Amino acid sequence: MNATSPSGASSLQLSRRTALKTLAALAAVPAAGALAGCGGSSQTSSSSGGSSDKAAELSFVYLGTAEQQAQWNQLFAQFNKQHPNIKLKPEGVASTNWAEFFNKLSTRIAGGRVPDMVQVATEGQRLFASKGLLHPIDEFIAKDKAVIDEYYADLNPNLIKWNTKYASPGGKTYYLPGEFNTMVMHCNKVLFDKAGIQLPSADWTWDQFLDICRQIKAKTGAFAYVAGTGYFTDVMPWLLTNGTSSFNADWTQPTFDNPQVQESAQFMRTLVEEKLSPPPGGTFDPFTALAQDKLAMFGGGRWPVINLRKLNAVQKTVLLPFPKKVGQGSPVGWNGYPILKASKNKEACWTFIKFLISKEGTSFFANLGGTIVPARKSVASSQAFLANSPKGTEYLYDALSYATPIPAPDKGAAIQQVIEDTWRQMLTGNTPIAQGTTQVQGKLQGLV
């Protein structure tokens, strides 16, 4: 969810962090509708919709800026046509990443400013649920079983399984799985042609990737790839394709000091050493560089499509799964829109959630051309979503078959910071690989 974002402008961390700030249309479009300031009038009627809705105001807090409000307003207007008695009061909280967003939101809640609904990506779902801030939605699911059954039938089963296992602890349901992001490789076919290299198949390998990087650099002078430091965007794809992760399957123990992690870090370090990648930590803009044929490849989810369209670079871009060492791999993060326990408008909140998961709601979002993948397979495979997008966009949904949820224990914000800081030091050569992974392992053990 990733649902979820990168931290620096120098790399493609622009997925679940900076991307959500600068391109928040992806994770926030559907979310925006749920934002509502706290308070509001009491609402106890059925959520069937239309004039039967009891008058209510819904406060919804999401990660985003005022500049992004115009797109979200289109979604709100669509909802309000059907539910004129429910007034949505969205409020974006400008943040550079999810950790910062959660910190700001926690401060607001502690000060008594409790919204009715919030946007929560995978990185914060378990944390929010564990704090006792959320209202379980099992009663609503039971009441609208036919609606939920139809929705789930249109999802990849993994989304449902992951949402149950990782997002809703304690046997209660706090979230429905929403739109998501996986990671794929964005390839500049113009540079591949200039270098006389055929685009690889979907099951290409690390060795093929490195050989292509070296040929691109030698024959065109362009950078081949952006080796960044984002936890979701730059670290996890290379761990997962090498058969490892930052944590074990239930997120109880870190696994950052194993040989596969060290091998993955060294592989990225090689790209920096050979100047196949720009050095991490700078202001390198991968989108513009690809559009200007100064970059052959970068990793990303759906969010780059907005920049690629603005730069007229959609047609030259082809998406492929990440190259594999042990097997295919991708992190995945998805959005959830929980109801706060303190809300007096829970029925109205549920009405809006049902709109977001409906075919109409998800199709409307797809038509907006947002930066996240619709949870519904029927919408993700539609022309509304695939039009004016790079060839291979379908791989984003297909990745759900082999993806791994981004590990996000309760102290996920601190965990992310530790991993990213040390990964950067390892890539730049300031910290030896073995030493760095051992240091991270120790710090992560202290956090779980």
Residue 388 lies in a domain: yes
Q: Would you place residue 220 in the very low, low, confident or very high pLDDT band (cuts 50, 70, 90)?
A: very high
Report CA-CA distances (Å) from 35 to 95, 100, 136, 158, 193: 16, 18, 18, 27, 47
Distance of CA 136 to the CA centre of its chain: 23
Structure tokens at 428: 């730049």
Q: Which of 288, 311, 331 is the last residue of a domain?
A: 331
Q: Which of 313, 331, 349 is the last residue of a domain?
A: 331
**How many domains does one find in the chain?**
2
Cα–Cα distance, 155 to 22 (Å, whole number): 28
Do 194 and 312 lie in one domain? The reply is: yes
Do 22 and 164 lie in one domain? The reply is: yes
Residue 113 lies in a domain: yes
Do 91 and 123 lie in one domain? The reply is: yes
Angle at 250 between CA 245 and CA 252, to 5 degrees: 85
Do 166 and 97 lie in one domain? The reply is: yes
**113-127 average pLDDT score:** 88
Burial 211-243 (b: 16+ CB within 10 A, else e): ebbebbbeebebbbbbbbbbbbbbbbbbbbbbe
Entry pTM: 0.87
**52-67 average pLDDT score:** 80
What letter would DSSP give residue 163?
A: I
Give the whole-number percent of the chain exceeding pLDDT 70.
85
H or E, element range at 151? helix 145-153
Each residue of 224-258: pLDDT tens digit? Answer: 999 999 999 999 999 999 999 999 999 999 999 99
Cα–Cα distance, 271 to 38 (Å, whole number): 49
Do 273 and 349 lie in one domain? The reply is: no
Cα–Cα distance, 297 to 111 (Å, whole number): 45
Top pLDDT among 59 and 323 is at 323
What is the greatest pairwise CA distance in the chain?
Answer: 67
Nearest to 413 by CA among 101, 176, 108, 146: 101
Q: Which of 276, 297, 331 is the last residue of a domain?
A: 331
Each residue of 276-291: pLDDT tens digit? Answer: 999 998 889 999 999 9
350 contact partners, CB below 8 Å, separation of at least 6: 47, 137, 140, 144, 339
Do 33 and 172 lie in one domain? The reply is: yes
Residue 193 lies in a domain: yes
Do 254 and 123 lie in one domain? The reply is: no
- Long-range Cβ pairs for the range 136-142 (8 Å, 24+): 136/172, 136/173, 136/174, 137/173, 137/174, 137/175, 137/176, 137/338, 137/339, 137/350, 137/353, 138/172, 138/173, 140/47, 140/350, 140/353, 141/173
Each residue of 379-436: pLDDT tens digit? Answer: 999 998 999 999 999 999 999 999 999 998 888 888 999 999 999 999 999 999 999 9
Cα–Cα distance, 182 to 201 (Å, whole number): 19
| Residue 387 bridge partners (DSSP) | none
Residue 443 lies in a domain: no
Do 226 and 361 lie in one domain? The reply is: no
Nearest to 180 by CA among 406, 414, 413: 406
Residue 437 lies in a domain: no
Do 30 and 150 lie in one domain? The reply is: yes
Residue 12 lies in a domain: no
Cα–Cα distance, 30 to 73 (Å, whole number): 10
Domain of residue 275: give its range. 183-331
Cα–Cα distance, 244 to 104 (Å, whole number): 33
Do 39 and 168 lie in one domain? The reply is: yes
Q: Would you place residue 138 in the very low, low, confident or very high pLDDT band (cuts 50, 70, 90)?
A: very high
194: CATH: 3.40.190.10
Structure tokens at 386: 């695939």
Residue 123 lies in a domain: yes
- Residue 369 near residue 302, CB atoms below 8 Å: no
Do 316 and 366 lie in one domain? The reply is: no
Do 139 and 259 lie in one domain? The reply is: no
Residue 434 lies in a domain: no
What letter would DSSP give residue 201?
A: P
- Residue 340 near residue 8, CB atoms below 8 Å: no
